[in-house]
Amino acid sequence: MNSSTRLPVRLGFRTSIIALFVGIVLAVGLTLVFLSFNRVQAITRSAASSFLDSVAQLSADRIDTRFSAVRNCLEILKGLPSVQTAGILNDPRLNALLASMLRNNRQLFNLYVGYDDGTFIEMDMIDRAGASARARLRAPGEAVFRLVIISQFKGSALASTTFLTDDFVILSERPGPDNYDPRQRPWYKGADAPDAGLLTDPYIFFATGLPGYTVRMPLDDGRKGVVAGDVLLDEAEDMLRKQHLGRSGFVVLFDDAGRVLAHPEMSRLLAADLKGGAIGALPRLDAIDKIGLSKAVAAWRGGGSAQQFFTDSHGRAYAAAFRSVETAGVAHLHLGVFAPIDEFYSQIESERRNLIVIALGFVLATLPLVFGIGSMLSKRLKALARQTDSIQRFELEHSPQLHSIISEIDDLGRSVFTMRTLIQTFSYFVPRRLVQQLVQTGTAMTLGGSRRELTILFTDVVNFTGITESAEPAKVMLYTSRYFSAVSEAVMAAKGTIDKFIGDGVMAFWNAPADDPDHAPNGCAGALALLRANDRLNAEFEREGWPAYRTRCGLHTGTAVVGNIGSEDRMNYTALGAAVNLAARLEGLNKNYGTSILVSAALRKQATARFLFRSVDRISPKGFAEAFEIYELRCERGEGDAADCELCRDWEPVYAALRSAPLAVAESELTAFLGKYPEDQIARYHQTSAYTAPDNRKSA
């Protein structure tokens, strides 16, 4: 803004700060002083009601979150093929998933699945229910999980109970439980009814001695059955106890029947209801009501406001707030928060007479301090204004960075200093006038790149043109987009970066833009995951009547230039160089050898400790001065079957003979190998090739 557009009246920063401070303090102080006590009381009642409403909403949300987390676990379980088909025997992955869900959901004691033929699986986290449950279950001291499986064999139920450590080491196994039929349990009955709720009615669990619900869902696909989990509410009791509501406030969780599900003193209430060692019914609201809260509950349930006021038998006024737990469904859970109002405004009443004296004394006492702070800030801001004006005039003489105890002003001083240094540096390389124009227009130089080692992936769909040339264009786009989505998710899950889609192919790389020291192993993992995702997608395509997309991949690790390339108005973050070209060549060579993933020797060197590779050939790609050994990526070590390992062991001596042994010996080794593996495409390729010296091999 130049001088001709300045406002006619301007205030200094120091004067503005002092005037603002004095005005705010006096306005607030005098307003509070002259408010009548009745008005203060009304405000406090409203504030207390709002505060209790916030506490009720927060507590209800936390309970909702706990139930939602359990519901999400059940959704995942019911979608598993092993659960849908009742393939629960000897399934370590299912057992590991159940254990992981229990570890991550502290409100859960167990998860289980029951089927219409009586088949059943249950996993308990033993210590979640306390020492009494461990004693009831007769669990070994080191046991963390209890696994119960009931299977059906020739019309008879075979039940077993296994106790496991946290690492799934078996501690003991025993038969039983006998005569347990999940179909007769309350959580199973009626679970698939149209009006069935997510939660059962509340009851006290046998294993824990604590109140709770069973969260259940019927299986939608596959076998008929129900997945369920028992939700412990002892954590809710602890959460309610920790709510800070003055000296006398408290929170209660109850249902439509008036039963108390959680209370800050729930353990004491349950203990008082023990009769001869047996656990009785849940306590009721009217049994714990010592302040008349039943009146507020009745008024709310009768259609009244969620914020209620009532008095106890001694005339003490209370505020209450109510919220329903949304995920409880037909269980109809509600949360009530209660606190006496006088605990909110007693301090205000005792201090209001001294407010005017305190307010005026505060203003007078702090005026010198405010004057000093205003002067200091004004001085720093004026100095910054002078520096920015000098930069605008391109007067770049050296001056020290301006510092301040105020973080925002200190940051501004550093920014101005950095801007001056940057412009001064640019002025050494380009005309100062050009630098000045860049500063004035805010132009940023963002194009460019750097050279770094990457692992590069190229993919292609076999016979994509033949598959799609006669198909409906809309369907081609739809199914190909699903294919790209599956491929992209697999690559990104392995920490890869999708560069671009090239027709029906994908280019991706690892170790850019974020550093990835394990880029070569991650590239291999991404390629294998890509093929697995492709197989799953092809199964869906087959069910939908669409041809399968078989993917071939090329992987190479090498140095490339990576960064932004393009024009000022259009850029692309990509990689360029010979390493990129070699990865693309490797993808195309899969067609010759009948392979799915071909990799270079450079990648194999960095990933061989984790993955199993098979020697394929030595090639001399066009445009490259040297020859390259190429390999087939078979699987991750420890995950492939024994056949993969045996094939690789049998093949490597044959390949060595092909590379260096006399032709007759090589042909003999190859013939013997094909006798054992007649369908092996790599061996067939070498059988049909003309073998001379290795340095006379064909170029790629």
The DSSP annotation for 87-154 comes to --TT-HHHHHHHHHHHHH-TTEEEEEEEETTS-EEEEEEGGGG-HHHHHHHT--TT--EEEEEEEEET
- Above pLDDT 70, what percent of the chain? 76
| Pairwise pLDDT comparison (48 vs 33), residue with the higher score | 48
**Three-class SS of residue 396?**
coil
| pLDDT band, very low/low/confident/very high, at 437 (cuts 50, 70, 90) | very low
* 169: nearest Cα among 147, 148, 149: 147
Q: Is residue 694 part of a domain?
A: yes
| 474 and 618 both lie in a single domain | yes
| pLDDT band, very low/low/confident/very high, at 6 (cuts 50, 70, 90) | low
Contacts by 411-419, CB closer than 8 A, 24 or more apart: 412/384, 413/380, 413/384, 416/384, 416/387, 416/388, 416/391, 419/391
Domain edge (last residue) among 617, 640, 663: 640
Name the amino acid, one letter, at 314: H
Residue 439 has pLDDT above 80, yes or no: no
| Pairwise pLDDT comparison (472 vs 367), residue with the higher score | 472
Distance from C-alpha of 672 to C-alpha of 686, rounded to nearest angstrom:
13
| 631 and 661 both lie in a single domain | no
Q: Is residue 199 part of a domain?
A: yes
* 681: nearest Cα among 609, 602, 594, 620: 594
How far apart, in Å, do the first and last CA atoms of the chain sit? 67
* 565: nearest Cα among 587, 580, 585: 580
Contacts by 448-452, CB closer than 8 A, 24 or more apart: 448/563, 448/564, 449/561, 449/562, 449/563, 449/564, 449/565, 449/576, 450/561, 450/562, 450/563, 451/559, 451/560, 451/561, 451/562, 452/511, 452/512, 452/559, 452/560, 452/562
Write out the residue range of the structural domain in which residue 391 sits.
357-441
| 627 and 555 both lie in a single domain | yes
Tell me the CB-side half-sphere exposure of residue 90, using CA atoms within 13 A: 0
Structure tokens at 299: 């008024």
| 379 and 505 both lie in a single domain | no
Tens-place pLDDT, residues 106-130: 888 899 999 999 999 999 999 888 7
Q: Is residue 256 part of a domain?
A: no
Distance from C-alpha of 371 to C-alpha of 333, rounded to nearest angstrom:
58
Question: Going by C-beta distance under 8 Å and a sequence separation of 6 or more, which residues neighbour residue 83?
Answer: 77, 94, 113, 219, 222, 227
**Three-class SS of residue 514?**
coil
| pLDDT band, very low/low/confident/very high, at 200 (cuts 50, 70, 90) | confident
Tens-place pLDDT, residues 37-76: 556 666 767 777 787 778 778 877 887 888 888 889 999 9
Q: Is residue 202 part of a domain?
A: yes
What's the CATH code of the domain at 139?
Answer: 3.30.450.20
| 192 and 177 both lie in a single domain | yes
| pLDDT band, very low/low/confident/very high, at 274 (cuts 50, 70, 90) | very low
The DSSP annotation for 317-386 comes to EEEEEEEE-GGGGGG-EEEEEEEETHHHHHHHHHHGGGHHHHHHHHHHHHHHHHHHHHHHHHHHHHHHHH
Q: Is residue 43 part of a domain?
A: no
Name the amino acid, one letter, at 621: P
Tens-place pLDDT, residues 66-103: 888 888 999 999 999 999 998 888 889 999 999 999 99
| 361 and 486 both lie in a single domain | no
Q: Is residue 74 part of a domain?
A: no
Whether 95 contacts 147, CB under 8 Å: yes
628 in the Ramachandran plot: left (φ > 0), alpha (ψ -120 to 50) or beta? beta
Whether 685 contacts 615, CB under 8 Å: no
What's the CATH code of the domain at 591?
Answer: 3.30.70.1230
Other CB atoms closer than 10 Å to residue 487's CB: what's the count? Answer: 28
How many separate domains does the chain show? Answer: 4
Beta bridge partners of 599: 555, 631
Report if pTM > 0.75: no
Structure tokens at 276: 């001869």
Residue 279 has pLDDT above 50, yes or no: no
Residue 692 has pLDDT above 60, yes or no: no
Domain edge (last residue) among 640, 658, 686: 640
Q: Taking each helix axis as running N to C, give the angle between helix 681-688 and helix 578-593, from 0 to 180 degrees, rounded to the nearest 10.
A: 90
Q: Is residue 190 part of a domain?
A: yes
Q: Is residue 56 part of a domain?
A: no
